[in-house]
Amino acid sequence: MDKWEEKQKKYLTFFENNALIRKAILNTQGRITDINVRQQIYLYTMCPVIAMFSKWVIEEAVKRDIKKLYFMARDSYTAYLTADYIIKKYHIDIQIKYIRLSRHSLRHSEYKNIITYLKKEGFFDEDKYGIVDSGWLGTVQQSLRDLLVKAGCKTEFDGFYFGLYEIPRQMDRKRYNGFYFNPVGGIKQKVYFSNSLYEVMNAENIGMTESYDEHGNPVLVDNEYDKNPEDDLLVLNVFNEQLFKNDGSYKGLKVDRRELFNILREFMTSPCMEEIKSFGNIRFSANYGDKTDLMAARMSEKELKNLWLFARIKRNLMRSREPVRESAWQQASIILNGKHVNSNMRHDKVYRYTKYVLNGIRNIRL
């Protein structure tokens, strides 16, 4: 039995108390002819995560009497597809839209052009709405709100995110809602998580929105890295059909964060070689204009040791400006290096625990 076959069995044990998810995974695998390893990995790891996240978003919107949800390009694409399927299947009274906004376009577009786009998409209507995104720092919600206020729109809105490491200081914390983790607490969830890997597995396979023309139409840049090919989306669509097959399936789906933690920890921080080969070779860039690198960058032993906590502290004390190479999927890079894996993993965890504990304390004080 190869490592991936062992992993499949392990993943299924995480859903022993969630029969709907378990059955949907097995049914999907049986219905897709010649399903490949990458598709199987996506099915066992990300499909259940997005289903639970999407259900949570819809339930939170219903509780707040929100009638419109804007899903932000590109990282909320799979959540948009899943939520759209749920809402249409169960006739839920919420309108959803996929909106082409990015941190770059919000900050660097011609003011008149972006306002034209926002008006076309209904941001100036009187409907109560919320936005949905991957999250992390909450700056998109802040930039969007500032633009709307400047244009004379006084409507406040809520943001629903997969996870939040921080919230901008001057913003109302009650308007920011994290699903998997929030700025205070959730230390283990943050340590055993890769936000970059989450992004490449859930983003639309199209270029980022750079700006808007005079008619308010989005101007896209070329897709700078390959992610989420159509075969992954095929798996997602079939999985949603199998999971939400019956009238009672939506209400019966358990949103279990313990299961989510087990899945994400196992996949993101203890990947087997099949998982690394499937998603570690995608090229990734954290910010617009930055040079791309492989998700699981091939790193030397020296480069890995440069990321240890004490090495970081030493550089700060010495005020070193020497560039330090990092990996978007650090744990996979450690495994690929193959030397002193346990030691490098341990030091990576020490750094992450220290970072998120200190961040949590700082966020309590804000």
d(CA 353, CA 347): 10
Domains and CATH numbers, the chain: 18-255 (3.40.50), 296-365 (no CATH)
Q: Please report, as a single letter, which amino acid is at residue 286.
A: A
Tell me the average pLDDT across 158-178.
91
The pLDDT tens digits of the residues spanning 96-148 come to 999 998 888 888 889 999 999 999 999 998 889 999 999 999 889 999 999 99
In the chain, count H helices and then E strands.
17, 9
d(CA 232, CA 38): 8
d(CA 135, CA 167): 10
The pLDDT tens digits of the residues spanning 229-274 come to 678 899 999 999 999 998 888 999 999 999 999 999 999 999 999 9
> Contact, 46 vs 193, CB < 8 A?
no
pLDDT of 224 > 70? The answer is: no
**DSSP characters for 199-262?**
HHHHS-SSPPEEEE-TTS-EEEPP--S--S-HHHHHHHHHHHHHHT-STTHHHH----HHHHHH
Q: Give residue 288's pLDDT.
A: 57
